[in-house]
Structure 1
Amino acid sequence: MRFPPPPIEEQERMVEAVLFASARPLSLRDLAERLPRGCDPAEAVASLRRRYEGRGVQLMRVGEAWAIRTAPDLGFLMQNETLEERRLSRAAIETLAIIAYHQPVTRAEIEEIRGVAVSRGTLDQLLEMEWVRPGRRRMTPGRPVTFVVTEGFLDHFGLESARDLPGLSDLRAAGLLESRPPGQDGMPDLVARGGNEHMDDDDEPAGRIDDFDDDLFEDDPQGQPGSD
């Protein structure tokens, strides 16, 4: 005998309990596998999200998954938490920015944009942090692997998708980019120094986001982060 699914209110409670206890964002498929047969996780999530509006915690979308997170305007209350700080080198920050704004992107394309070779350690660090993952291989000679940002990256920076990344004007307005003149040949400094075939990531000092060259953050013609 097949039993009817629980009322939507009960389904909301189930989804709430599962998301609250989960250490990672869960997709609708993940929720469907945990809920009783016949439940509608999409409807339960939508209803629960409305219920959380204006509360201290919110049901937030992270890529194709969902998670319960502290309301962004209350983040200052968590400032006493002990955080493990992992400083990224300038090479790692620039590589991460290129992947985020131009994904999916191959290693060769990263090197072309930066103008220097990308060391294995730079990508290994981003992969170890689970902020970057391999994407589909390009249907070109050699079938090079591409790289894309992960849901962990989106979750860390409070983004729903890569399309929510700030544009060049937003970064300048926030004081995260310095206005710097282009090189003598009219190209940005970062690309202009690409003629040095002996330079790689190991030759670069650690840097901050305000050391970036503007071309790393250029949007595509539609005003969204570049993508293929």
Structure 2
Amino acid sequence: MTEDASKENLRHRLAEKMAGEITLSDKPGEALKKWRLNFEIAQTDISSYLGVSPSVISDYESGRRKSPGTLIVSKIVDALINIDSESGGHKIHAYEGMLYSDKASKAVYATYEYTYPMQLAKLATLIEADVANRGVEKPLYGFTVVDSKKAILELSSHEFQKLYGWSTERAMIFTKVSTGKSPMVAIRVTNLKPAAVVLHGLSIRDVDPMAKKMAEVDRIPLLATTMDLDELIEALKHYSQYQVME
């Protein structure tokens, strides 16, 4: 397969994955918003590309407008992929490993996707965490608990990106950390950035100042918690229940 054909196949498979998730979701607007945030593309950029009013995209994402049909979803997905491709295709390339391999699974303790996003304050409360760096708050659409030593020592930067699952708008929770510096270094060299990083097993006073600095530079919220790992995972998995109750 030629390089151009390989790129086109990757784009096609990624578009199928995105469109399928959006159209099959019981909250297609939320799914659409999640993918737009994953690609770090503004509503105005999509609307400009498609030649529609920004309010159209906003209404679809918020649910104010009737759920988009397959044709509209396809156009929006193509717009996201094309806009990223025109700026270098960094996001598209980052998803390549997720489509073609599952080697990163050996470093993952648990992973979970949310239908309804969680706010950073709620995350901190649920896992009894202290905030080491506030960063730029984004909605969290899931979490991944990672064995820090395996991820850093055994995975290439390309494989490391697969730890995100299908949404970068998630909390990456690193266990078996000594200072927090190594996970932040690993994140710095990847194209994808998580919406939040949690250092598990550390009190906030034990977080390396350099880890805080890197989080500050990348504008990533950084939290630290010593909560029991099994209790932490259970609390986060039950978040959807809490959301409905609240």
The TM-score, its normalising length taken from structure 2, stands at 0.21
Using CA pairs below 8 Å that are at least 6 residues apart, which structure has the higher relative contact order?
Answer: 1
